[in-house]
């Protein structure tokens, strides 16, 4: 598991990655849609978790994206507006 946080250009950016099964290439562009399963873990899932996360980020003026990084099988970039002075 990898977690990192930084502030850049008025955004608080959280990186979350892991070395799990990853997200199959054919569904990567759909991973934040309702009822889409990553297809990696084989565990039972409703396919709603990432769709809910995306909606929460949007309601707070932020974003969540699946990022490409060869060091991790899955890496998410979560960005929220941050006007805190430090």
Decide if pLDDT at 81 tops 80. Answer: yes
Q: How confident is the model at residue 69 (pLDDT cuts 50, 70, 90)?
A: confident
What is the DSSP pairing of strand 11-18 with strand 63-67?
unpaired
Prediction pTM value? 0.85
Four-CA torsion 2, 60, 25, 43, nearest 10 degrees: 70
- The domain ranges of the chain are 2-81
pLDDT 10s digits, 52-66:
999 999 999 999 999
How many angstroms separate the CA atoms of 19 and 44, rounded? Answer: 19
The dotted CATH code for 2-81 is 3.30.565.10
């Amino acid at each position: 598991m990898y977690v990192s946080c930084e502030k850049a250009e008025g955004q608080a950016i959280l990186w979350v990655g892991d070395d799990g099964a990853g997200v199959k290439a054919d569904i990567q562009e759909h991973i934040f849609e309702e009822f889409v399963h990553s297809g990696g873990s084989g565990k039972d899932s409703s396919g709603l978790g990432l769709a809910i996360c995306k909606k929460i980020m949007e309601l707070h003026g932020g974003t969540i994206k699946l990022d490409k990084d060869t060091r991790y099988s899955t890496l998410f970039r979560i960005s929220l507006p941050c006007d805190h002075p430090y």
